[in-house]
Amino acid sequence: MFQTFETTARPEQGPPRLARLRAALEEADLDGFVIPRADAHQGEYVAPHDERLAWLTGFTGSAGFCIVLPGKAGVFIDGRYRTQVKAQVDLAHFTPVPWPDVKPGPWLREELPKGGRVGFDPWLHTRKEIHEIEKSLDGTGITLSPTRNFVDAIWAHQPDPPLGPVAIHPIEFAGEESASKRARLAEGLRAAGQRAVVLTLPDSISWLLNIRGADVRRNPVVHAFAILFDTGHLTLFIAPEKLSDAVRAHLGREVTIRPPLAFEPALRGLTGPVRVDEGSAPLQVAREFEEAGIEIQWDEDPCLLPKARKNAAEIAGSVEAHLRDAAAMVEFLAWFDDRAPKGGLSEIEVVTELENFRRASNALRDISFETICGSGPNGAIMHYRVTEDTSRELAPGEIVVIDSGAQYLDGTTDITRTVAVGTPSPEHVTCFTRVLKGMIAISRLRWPKGLAGRDLDPFARHALWLAGQDFDHGTGHGVGAYLSVHEGPQRLSRVSHVPLEPGMILSNEPGYYREGAFGIRIENLVVVEEAPDLPGGDAHRKMYAFRTLTHVPIDRRLIDPAALSEEERVWLNDYHAGVFERIAPRVTEAARAWLAEATAAI
């Protein structure tokens, strides 16, 4: 099994660790310290070596941070984790702070009214992040000071940095040779008058070099730093034991291998101007350049958009991966509908069976994140991770949120289905149908070139808003090509300003959550394409649309057909007809019979 179910959050260990940290800060004459959920590569998912936030507080969510002061330790969490954090931290010693409603600067102004010195590790924060906090502290007497990492200093038996082996990502799935990618980016550097760019994001480096790694669970990325020069040459700073002879040969003579300790000296030896992404590179990179007097040009990581705009091979791979994954999901859902009503089925058993169905393809490399299986009140915990301590039996009349995904060589999947155990309640049906209307609205959208995720996000919420409801997460995130299941810069979110472009893959996942009662989420992956012209449309206006990649039935027991418009019913029936056509040939006879009923027209 890829997934395990041990309880990793240890709230009882937080208070003594917090006391030791405060003692270390007092000795260093610091009034506070910031502990992010981040590593030097700013990845959303981190290796055990970098799980500082979880080690100190007990909170295991994929986003957030803690600011420790002498009298208060604030754990900053967004809307996805406001329920989860209450169960994972000792609330007598740690205070949940609703972020980004409350930002760190104003919070510090309130908690340190007489000023103070707050430390942070410059390898774990970006320049943009620190400057935003500093601007909000003007005139307060509070200063942010780069320091050594005081959590590492008190963390006995901290795991070593990861040394996962590097693998070659085959050209049949990558669709473009690494040398070609490097040449394209180098041309952009020359056009901008930049001599080099510093790359620190693991998925950028993995994409650029057509390699994959095993340094972070569920994400086949490589932990490394890189400097790409305007000549197309690249220096890769990586632990040499990660590289086989075959990988070294794949990288070729235009890629120089150096150990990680050589990274800082190499920065100081560059000739500017050097391109640095202030939103992803560690602040320490800028400090090295500033101390050496090297000119910096602040600009985004040049890999971001090319990586997000999937090429034909990557899209074809994703299509096949989703068909394979859909077959596993249909086999699983057929099993679930037969097994769940009989009673005695636990959340852990559901997760285990789903992984077994995916394994049966013999193509599964890993799951793409810890499977979420939340029944009843657990479904209201948006990023719930079932453990041996929290697993509950599914009960008749409940609904279950099952959010899962897989890593295949040809693509990364992510799908959520909310399913009923027996007969759902009228309230379940009403809320589910509102969420479904939002998912269909996104699926049917056409929009003019230049619009961003923030422009599309409201369509997913309209039916909920009319009922005075909403959900506290984005409508969708970008997805990689056998890379991270959460990939930027594209998003369907009210905070996303990145224009959507053809080839971008995103999730479409509106939801609704009622704390202590139930949760609902429906998720398909979609790819941006050029929309076909329509009779009477503006010939000069380029339009885009989504093509749905996920082909798995949506639970018809949870749908109120009377609440759907004619256009919504047509979309749903067409979608289900397409699911049956594509997936029926790929499943067993028993699953095919279930699928025929599950995709019947409404």
pLDDT one-digit tens code per residue, 215-253: 999 999 999 999 999 999 999 999 999 999 999 999 999
Name the band, by pLDDT with cuts 50, 70 and 90, for residue 7: confident
Whether residue 508 is found in the same domain as residue 489: yes
Whether residue 322 is found in the same domain as residue 240: no
List pLDDT tens digits, range 300-337. 999 999 999 999 999 999 999 999 999 999 999 999 99
Distance CA 401, CA 130 (A): 37
Percentage with pLDDT > 90 across the chain: 93
List pLDDT tens digits, range 324-371. 999 999 999 999 999 999 999 999 999 999 999 999 999 999 999 999
Name the band, by pLDDT with cuts 50, 70 and 90, for residue 258: very high
Name the band, by pLDDT with cuts 50, 70 and 90, for residue 61: confident
Say which CATH number the domain at 431 has.
3.90.230.10
Tell me the two tokens of residue 508.
């479409």
Whether residue 25 is found in the same domain as residue 41: yes
pLDDT of 22 higher than 90: yes
5 within domain boundaries: no
Query: What is the pLDDT, as a whole number, of residue 87?
Result: 85
Query: What is the pLDDT, as a whole number, of residue 234?
Result: 98
2 within domain boundaries: no
6 within domain boundaries: no
Range of the domain at 288: 167-307
Name the band, by pLDDT with cuts 50, 70 and 90, for residue 420: very high
Whether residue 529 is found in the same domain as residue 407: yes
CB 524 within 8 A of CB 508: yes
Whether residue 257 is found in the same domain as residue 171: yes
Whether residue 421 is found in the same domain as residue 287: no
pLDDT of 8 higher than 80: no
Residue type, 1: M
240 within domain boundaries: yes
Compute the average pLDDT of residues 96-109. 93
Residues contacting residue 236 through CB under 8 Å, at least 6 positions apart = 205, 209, 224, 225, 226, 251, 255, 256, 257, 258
The vertex-363 CA angle with 361 and 366, nearest 5°, equals: 110
Query: What is the pLDDT, as a whole number, of residue 82?
Result: 85
160 within domain boundaries: no
| Lowest-pLDDT range of 101-105, 165-169, 416-420 | 101-105
Whether residue 131 is found in the same domain as residue 237: no
Compute the average pLDDT of residues 566-593. 98
Whether residue 342 is found in the same domain as residue 448: yes
Distance CA 394, CA 378 (A): 11
238 within domain boundaries: yes
Is the pLDDT higher at 69 or at 10? 69
Name the band, by pLDDT with cuts 50, 70 and 90, for residue 80: confident
Query: What is the pLDDT, as a whole number, of residue 96?
Result: 93
Whether residue 191 is found in the same domain as residue 285: yes
Query: What is the pLDDT, as a whole number, of residue 403?
Result: 98
Compute the average pLDDT of residues 421-447. 98
Domain boundary among 263, 288, 307: 307
Whether residue 420 is found in the same domain as residue 558: yes
Phi-psi region of 223 (alpha: psi -120 to 50; beta: other; left: phi over 0): beta
176 within domain boundaries: yes
pLDDT of 9 higher than 80: no
pLDDT of 581 higher than 80: yes
Name the band, by pLDDT with cuts 50, 70 and 90, for residue 12: confident
Domain boundary among 133, 154, 175: 154
List pLDDT tens digits, range 379-410. 999 989 999 989 999 999 999 999 999 999 99
pLDDT of 11 higher than 90: no
Compute the average pLDDT of residues 65-75. 96
Tell me the two tokens of residue 523.
């998720």
Name the band, by pLDDT with cuts 50, 70 and 90, for residue 83: confident
Whole-model pTM above 0.75? Answer: yes
Whether residue 521 is found in the same domain as residue 506: yes
Split into its structural domains, the chain has a count of 3
Which has the closest alpha carbon to 410: 504, 322, 485?
Answer: 322
Mean pLDDT taken over the chain: 96
227 within domain boundaries: yes
Query: Order of strands, edge to edge, in the sheet holding 65-68?
Result: 95-98, 73-77, 65-68, 32-36, 116-120, 142-146
Strand partners, 97: 76
> Could you please report the per-residue DSSP string of 373-426?
EEEGGGGGSTT----TTT--B--TT-EEEEEE-EEETTEE--EEEEEESSSPPH
Whether residue 300 is found in the same domain as residue 341: no
Say which CATH number the domain at 94 has.
3.40.350.10
